[in-house]
Amino acid sequence: TEEIINRQDKLAAIGQLAAGVAHEIRNPLTSMKGYAEFLTLDEKDEARREYLDIILDEIERVDSIVEDFMVLAKPKPELMEVKNIVPVMKNVLSLLEFEAKKQKININFEYREALMKVVIDENRMKQVLLNFIKNAVEAMPNGGTINVSAFLEDQQVHLSIADTGVGIPEEKLKKIGEPFFTTKETGNGLGLMISFKIIDSHNGKVYVESELNKGTTFHILLPHHSD
Ligand code: ADP
Ligand code: MG
């Protein structure tokens, strides 16, 4: 339909733009970050330190947007390898643990099998997990719990990320994953679209369950690699 074609055009245009511009933005951003970090080193004035922290946070934000756009420009996985998903997940969770704790969020990880092989582009898959967990964190402004699980069933590795957050109203569920669909003031509405694309390129599936004011669970199914 017309809507789909328009969306494809829009994405193609963004992809081209991203390919040309992302690197150009990243380099000056890296030097800005370096100098801002350098200035914080011997800054004794508390207010100025705070301003520098704000600058660094904002640089981080621009950087993460640029990163999202870079994935749009190159949506195909590049390095497919046989990996055990368990340490990959542990690694992502350890990255987020500290930030989550600060926001009164507990992250639990349960896995039924210690070895579950999948064929993945590890960095892309980490990005997917990060996107889902970041969304879970953002859905719980007053704290809560994120239960992450992994198990093997019917030749599929099942991953799930469940939060105890605000949930997604039914009329918004079908908009999930559309480019630029966001309900957040500072959101860009790209995270899920990119994640769905990456999962798809791994021959995986994703679905969501949500109950308003109870929480949301994203399920990811990846083909199990057996040798
Ligand atoms: P962004 O996080 O920038 O808004 P995403 O593509 O990651 O973009 O998510 C799109 C929208 O989907 C979010 O703005 C939010 O409304 C909804 N959403 C995604 N994950 C969750 C979740 N775990 N709980 C509640 N809403 C969610
Ligand atoms: Mg997001």
Interface predicted TM-score (ipTM) of this complex, two decimals = 0.99
Residue from 164, 182, 196, 219 whose mutation best tests the ligand 1 pocket (most atoms within 8 A of CB): 182
Q: Which residues contact 34 (CB under 8 A, 6 or more apart)?
A: none
For residue 86, give the H/E element and its range: helix 85-102
Is the CB–ligand 1 distance for residue 168 below 6 Å?
A: yes
The number of CA neighbours under 13 Å toward the Cβ of 169 is 4
Please name which of 74, 28, 32, 26 lies closest in space to residue 55, comparing C-alpha atoms: 32
In DSSP notation, 18-44 reads HHHHHHHHHHHHHHHHHHHHHHHHT--
The token pair that represents 202 in the structure block: 């791994």
Find the 170 Cα to ligand 1 centroid distance in Å.
13
Kindly identify the ligand whose nearest atom is closest to the C-alpha of 187.
Answer: 1
pLDDT at 70: 72
CA distance 191 to 211: 21
pLDDT digits (tens, 9 = 90+) for 146-184: 999 999 999 999 999 999 999 999 999 989 988 788 999
CA distances from 221 to 82, 115, 153, 216 (A): 16, 16, 10, 17
Query: Strand, coil or helix: what is 222?
Result: strand
Kindly identify the ligand whose nearest atom is closest to the C-alpha of 175.
Answer: 1
Residue from 160, 161, 192, 217 whose mutation best tests the ligand 1 pocket (most atoms within 8 A of CB): 192
User: In the 8-state DSSP scheme, what is residue 184?
Assistant: S
CA distance 93 to 102: 14
CA distance 66 to 60: 10
Kindly identify the ligand whose nearest atom is closest to the C-alpha of 209.
Answer: 1
Is the CB–ligand 1 distance for residue 165 below 6 Å?
A: yes
Atom of ligand 1 nearest to the CA of 161: 23
Give me the average pLDDT of each 10-residue run along the chain (227 residues).
Answer: 57 66 85 95 94 94 78 70 97 90 96 97 91 96 98 97 97 88 87 89 94 97 94
Q: Within 10 Å of residue 8's Cβ, how many Cβ atoms?
A: 10
